[in-house]
Amino acid sequence: MQFGRCFEEFEVGAVYKHWPGRTITEYDDTLFSMLTMNHNPLHIDAYYAEATQFKRRLVVGPLIFSIALGMSVPDVSGKAIANLEFENVKHLGSSPAVSRIVVSSQLKPSPTTSVVKTYSRSNAV
């Protein structure tokens, strides 16, 4: 398996299903919450969370985003210089992590670099 793609290897409309999947555990959520100083009891206190409308602890959103981004690296950005921006980040529900190449060769900011714009979707239950 290759790690990332060069600009010429991307095809507009291609879909990359990122494998393997990742189960987010209670430990993952607690550790991420503590590392990022997110002490909201909805994420770290099961007793507190039971009394809310959700009836259980919720996984902190940036953890889902971070794992989804990491899962896309071998397929999409492994050979990239940088991930330039993220827009319209939403938590939608349950589905596998997928990246769809939306735009490719139309974006060439300089003779030595290229930009590939992707649409990625990753959700957690």
Which is more confident, 77 or 55?
55
Note the pLDDT of residue 39: 93
pLDDT bucket at 48, cuts 50 / 70 / 90:
very high
Q: How far is CA 89 from CA 24, 62, 72, 108, 121, in A?
A: 19, 10, 15, 25, 9
**What confidence tens digit (pLDDT) does each residue in 24-35 have?**
888 998 999 999
pLDDT at 60 over 80: yes
Mean pLDDT, the chain, as a whole number?
A: 75
Distance CA 104, CA 78 (A): 16
What are 57's two structure tokens? 């602890």
Return contacts of 87-96, CB within 8 angstroms, 24+ apart: 89/65, 91/61, 91/64, 91/123, 91/124, 92/121, 92/123, 93/123, 93/125, 94/123, 94/124, 94/125, 95/121, 95/122, 95/123, 96/17, 96/18, 96/21, 96/122
Radius of gyration over every alpha carbon of the chain, rounded to an integer in angstroms: 17
**What confidence tens digit (pLDDT) does each residue in 82-124 have?**
666 677 666 655 444 454 444 334 455 566 777 777 777 665 5
Which is more confident, 48 or 106?
48
pLDDT bucket at 7, cuts 50 / 70 / 90:
confident
**β-strand pairing of 117-121 with 98-103:** antiparallel
Which region, left, alpha or beta, applies to residue 7 given φ > 0 means left and ψ of -120 to 50 means alpha?
alpha
Note the pLDDT of residue 74: 79
